[in-house]
Chain A
Amino acid sequence: MKLKHQYIAFKTILVKEILRFSRIWIQTILPPAITTTLYFIIFGNLIGSQIDDMDGFSYMEYIVPGLILMAIITNSYANVVSSFYGSKFQHNIEEMLISPTPNYIILLGFVAGGVARGIIVGGVVTLVSLFFTDLSIQHYFLTSVVVVLTAILFSLAGFINAIFAKSFDDISIVPTFILTPLTYLGGVFYTIKLLPEFWQAVSLINPILYMVNTFRYGIIGISDIDITYAFGIIMTFITLLFWWSLSLLNRGVGIRN
């Protein structure tokens, strides 16, 4: 398939994905906006006002980047896992599998769809946050890059989950039992400096910590960890997950009986 035709196929998958989650915006865009508003009210205003500054920032200012990134993570993941599994379940993934579209374009198309939803939800949550705090972004480029990379990483993770999923239960197990705990323990609501040394070391195993801190650095200019190292970790995960996803797709795991 020529490059131009591959681009058309990619664009088709991406537009289809954007239309899909836009059509059901009450299920995809609205809930994170409401949930995050509640986080801002309860943790930011009510409880946050009783908490001392963190690294020179009010508690509300401190948690805003983490909450935005949390919405991006869960939504990019949820988009790909539900869309790809839904396509498997209804067998309409066969529309792509019988076509000459290369597997890496199928993968990129679904991932781009996840990134699109992550960015749109992230944008909505950012707008909501402006009702509660002033947001002055310190490093625009770095902030944008970490948003995109995080969305890519979790879209890939969602894709792998969908490949292995055999039922709708399987697509909620990982978000419930792995993703949510990792996100909550990934420094969204606190600095790891508050933890005892042992738990600080344990926290460093959590990849979400690196993304949250890099994003926080981009917005308010502080981080618990080295930014260059954090980027290295994010890129390593993206590379590994991409090759794993592509290999699963090439072998037809879960999709070609």
Chain B
Amino acid sequence: MPPALRIENLMKIYPNGFSALKGINLTVEKGDFFALLGPNGAGKSTTIGIICSLVNKSSGKISVYGKDTDTEISEAKSHIGLVPQEFNFNIFEPIEEIIINQAGYYGIERKTAVVKTEQLLRQLGLWEKRSEQARNLSGGMKRRLMIARALVHEPQLLILDEPTAGVDIEIRHGMWQFLKEINQQGTTIILTTHYLEEAESLCKNIAIIDQGEIIENTSVKALLNELNIETFILDLFEPLQEPPPLSEYSIRLLENSQLEIEVLKENSINDVFKRLDEYNIQVSSMRNKVNRLEELFMRILNDKS
């Protein structure tokens, strides 16, 4: 059975000689919720652009649900739904028309498109705004409009390029829930995001791309297992003048009543509390300094550079 997406030796060299993609290989299985991560300019959007026929590739092969994007372009495209990074709809069109027209480009009868559009707009909380011109929507609504538009032809592969950028927390969590549901219903999802807790919370597998190369490609679980050190921030009841002399940990005082401590994977966090207790230091709360995936992400990129 073919995977949802297979990329082989994909290269993109711009006319000015800049090599945006240096022969990447990637496979995304059906039903996966896949994160494609990387710093700005790493090649994520170029990869997505090529998959969706918005950017010409230099060489390499791509197939979507077994359909080659060179020889069976129409079939391949019909499987893909794209939520791009930038708003790319006609801001003067009513949002209902934007979605119905998108269905038309996929050869869906208007009658069917109208029904599907209503269903999606209701699901995404935009039904009341259906007659509004897109320019009158808030940023979060525009993002949801692009999700509705990408889903109107019921694609098997949904690609989301930073779908929650600039969206408030409540809407972001609503969108996560919605995406989880459509993934559970069988839609394969590829997500790029700068919110790494988003990738950690939603995705099963992950690839990290940097300077046009895939530098990590594994499951989120396996990747998190690679995290040898976790950094915690401890809020203290009483202020300190200097950090306690715990030689087995790297520890520093951030503020008078806040400690940053690095704990190796093999150490128990209970031991930290015991040692702090020896110095009569009471902890009121504790949190990870950064999201675990973010910590790994930074280490992988630092190792690479």
Q: Which residues of A contact B (CB under 8 A)?
A: 1-2, 4-6, 8-9, 11-13, 16, 19, 23, 86-87, 90-92, 94-102, 252, 256-257
Contact = CB atoms under 8 A, between A and B. Distances in A.
Contact of A95 (B53, B75, B101, B110): B101
B49 to A, nearest CB: 8
A83 to B, nearest CB: 10
Interface in B100-116: 101-102, 104-110
Contacts of A12: 101, 104-105
A93 to B, nearest CB: 8
17 contacts: A8-B107, A8-B108, A9-B104, A12-B105, A90-B90, A90-B91, A91-B88, A94-B54, A95-B89, A96-B105, A98-B77, A99-B77, A100-B73, A100-B106, A256-B53, A257-B49, A257-B56
B214 interface: no
B106 A99 contact: yes
B107 A1 contact: yes
A252 B56 contact: yes
Interface string B129-171: 0000000000000000000010000000000000000000000
A11 B90 contact: no
Interface stretch (B22-30, B78-86, B224-232, B277-285): B78-86
A156 B84 CA distance: 30
If over half of A's interface residues share one DSSP class (helix, strand or loop), that class is named, otherwise mixed; here it is helix
A199 B242 CA distance: 96
Contacts of B105: 9, 12-13, 95-96, 99-101
A94 B98 CA distance: 12
A8 B104 contact: yes
B52 interface: yes
Interface residues of B, number: 33
B55 A256 contact: yes
Interface in B40-96: 49, 52-56, 73-75, 77-78, 80, 82, 84, 86-92
Contact of A94 (B75, B84, B97): B84
Given A96-B105, A256-B54, A1 B74 contact: yes
A62 to B, nearest CB: 41
Nearest to B92: A23
A102 B72 CA distance: 12
Nearest to A2: B107
Given A91-B86, A99-B77, A100-B77, A256 B107 contact: no
A174 B207 CA distance: 48
Contacts of B74: 1, 100, 102
Given A94-B84, A95-B102, A100-B78, A4 B56 contact: no
